[in-house]
Structure 1
Amino acid sequence: MGTPEFAVSSLQKLVESDCEVVAVVTAPDKPAGRGLQLTPSPVKQFAVSRGIPVLQPEKLKNPDFLAELRSYQADLQVVVAFRMLPQVVWNMPPKGTFNLHASLLPQYRGAAPINWAIINGETQTGVTTFFLEHEIDTGKIIFQETEPIYYDDTIGTLYERLMRKGAELVVQTVKAVEAANYPQTPQPSAETLKSAPKIFKETCEINWNQSSESIRNFVRGLSPYPTAWTTLNGKICKVFKTSVANGQESLTSSDTAIRTDNKTYLRFKSADGWVAIEELQLEGKKRMGIEEFLRGTKLTLNS
């Protein structure tokens, strides 16, 4: 059960490991592209290419869907990047239903764990498999694997590594459940639980009143998608890469500093210094580095 590219890696690994995948459950086709043509999810596209039956329920409690799902007589259900399941679904197979989550539970429960781990400046995250229970992301842990978060990691680079590591962990978990030899560890209690709520466009606006490092982490945690943004020349400007800047700009009272003579830069004042914009995309333009951007864009800013 899964929908995006992140889930495809696990599905492919299961197929290549000779696990008998009797069916796939994924989201209904959705309009996409300029023509808004109905487009299947990445998981459906892979399943169809391998001849695996695909179920695409609008509602997970629909009696027809439940009857069809039950007809496959699955021993175990695997969930990777799918929606919340009702008990009638996750309780159906005799060996249960487990989920792959892209964090070290109990930290970063929620829809966007990879994003929030980077945004919060973590230096380590990981993947967890756990059995589903009533409360979301709270079931007993089966296995966990850690993964470092590097200084220049973005959601794009970390996503790729966790996707691959998660696929390996899914296969390990399936094999362990098949052999009836696996741990079931209650999630440890923690004084502070960091959450990973769903990210919306409003979430992605840069707050320049934060520290320079916090802003750098915020941009990394949203790059390349859904992308941090600010306003520039009265237009929405997506920001893909920044760095913490040091220099004489701290002497100015302006919120923005631009130089295009011996050195080209665009910097915004933060709570404790300056943030240099390195890659951006102004509304109506392509994504580009700062030098190319400033060569072709006239900015009405104080410097």
Structure 2
Amino acid sequence: MHQTRIIFMGTPEFAVSSLQILVENQSFGDPTLGDPIEVVAVITAPDKPKGRGRKIAYSPVKQYALTQDIPVLQPTNLKNPDFLEELKSYEADLQVVVAFRMLPEVVWNMPTQGTFNLHASYLPQYRGAAPINWAIINGETETGVTTFMIRHEIDTGNILFQDKEPIYADDTAGTLYERLMKKGAKLVLRTVKAISQNNYALTPQEDISDLKPAPKIHRETCKIDWNQSAEQIRNFVRGLSPYPAAWTELTLAGGEKKNCKVFLLNHTDLAETDQAPGDFATDNKSYLHMRAQDGWLAIEELQLEGKRRMMIDEFLRGTAL
């Protein structure tokens, strides 16, 4: 019975579920569970200062790996000869990548069975760094998870397995993230078992003309454009909630302008007026309505800069507009 030696590469919370399911299914000594697998090492991002105290913080993947006594490698340069020698010493059959950085060929081509990646979209759509956010921003009703073999061009390798997931009308990036994290972990385990048993087929990604990208999201990307339709803005806010969060500029009662993160808003039936997109209406007690291009939206949860996150009634009790 052959043991599949695995090196796992990942950094954020999203990757922990996939690592955990592999660790929990290391099937030594139980032939009914199929060929045994073993996670022999983890590669994750270097430790970095975090928060106001700037204390050194471990990545979520490192935190979990340490609880399981799995060796952790944290290279700053993936082409460093010393790192490559150490990586080679683990004699991995397979490398599994979940939410990690781009790998050089010398790394992904090292294991005998190759290197596969889990991506949080139904490829070929939403290649890139932020597939969950962009699927919601664009108003999609369905997405998924995909495992594929890594090659040079990012997120373009031959597909191993896929699983679809609906996007509900009240989903945020946060709620969809949780479901795809769990669904993705199951797909990773299925993929590892299939590869260890040499029971899989590779499918080239379809050549689709209207591919939708999922580029990295920056702060300037997150500013709300009130000239868009109410539905576009609602999807935009959902797709960026809770992180990094859409934002707008609010003018307070004294004329001071402050930036404000918006986590939740919904359509509202406010009588038509001649107000322009970006104008607001409020009773300074229970509601704050913002004018979009074709109607009004009620902000329900927000965070003024320098303040904590609040529901709208609590916010209005302490802030005059």
**What is the distance in 2 between the residues matched to 1:283 and 1:110?**
30
Partner of 2:287, secondary structure, is: strand
Q: State yes or no: 1:284 paired with 2:292.
A: no
Q: State yes or no: 1:151 paired with 2:169.
A: yes
Q: State yes or no: 1:113 paired with 2:136.
A: no
Percent identity between matched residues is 69
Q: 2:66 aligns with which of 42, 48, 51?
A: 48
Q: State yes or no: 1:257 paired with 2:265.
A: no
- Aligned residue number for residue 141 of structure 1: 159
4+ long deviations beyond 6 Å = none
1:243 corresponds to which letter in structure 2?
Answer: N
Q: State yes or no: 1:195 paired with 2:213.
A: yes
Q: How does 1:14-25 map to 2 (within 5 A)?
A: 14-18=22-26, 19-25=37-43
Partner of 1:103, secondary structure, is: coil
Q: State yes or no: 1:6 paired with 2:28.
A: no
Whether contact under 8 Å (1:256, 1:266) holds in the other structure is no
Aligned residues: 297
- Aligned residue number for residue 4 of structure 2: none
- Aligned residue number for residue 174 of structure 1: 192
2:281 corresponds to which letter in structure 1?
Answer: I
2:38 corresponds to which letter in structure 1?
Answer: E
Q: 1:245 aligns with which of 256, 259, 268?
A: 268
1:283 corresponds to which letter in structure 2?
Answer: E
Q: TM-score with structure 1 length normalisation?
A: 0.96
1:60 corresponds to which letter in structure 2?
Answer: L
Q: How does 1:64-143 map to 2 (within 5 A)?
A: 64-143=82-161
**What is the distance in 1 between the residues matched to 2:279 and 2:286?**
13
**What is the distance in 2 between the residues matched to 1:257 and 1:16?**
52
Whether contact under 8 Å (1:258, 1:264) holds in the other structure is no
1:257 CA displacement? 3.4
2:41 corresponds to which letter in structure 1?
Answer: A
1:169 CA displacement? 0.2
**What is the distance in 2 between the residues matched to 1:193 and 1:106?**
7
**What is the distance in 2 between the residues matched to 1:135 and 1:296?**
51
1:252 CA displacement? 3.7
- Aligned residue number for residue 318 of structure 2: 296
1:256 CA displacement? 2.6
- Aligned residue number for residue 224 of structure 2: 206
Deviations 1:129-153 (A, max 9, x none): 0000110000000000000000000
- Aligned residue number for residue 296 of structure 2: 274
**What is the distance in 2 between the residues matched to 1:253 and 1:219?**
22
Partner of 2:65, secondary structure, is: helix
Structure 1: unaligned runs, 5 residues or longer: none
Q: State yes or no: 1:227 paired with 2:245.
A: yes
1:260 CA displacement? 2.3
**What is the distance in 1 between the residues matched to 2:220 and 2:100?**
23
2:20 corresponds to which letter in structure 1?
Answer: Q
**What is the distance in 1 between the residues matched to 2:145 and 2:64?**
23
**What is the distance in 2 between the residues matched to 1:83 and 1:292?**
41
**What is the distance in 2 between the residues matched to 1:158 and 1:297?**
32
1:3 CA displacement? 0.2
Structure 2: unaligned runs, 5 residues or longer: 1-8, 27-36, 252-256
Deviations 1:265-299 (A, max 9, x none): 11111111112111001112111111111122111
**What is the distance in 2 between the residues matched to 1:23 and 1:145?**
27
1:17 corresponds to which letter in structure 2?
Answer: N
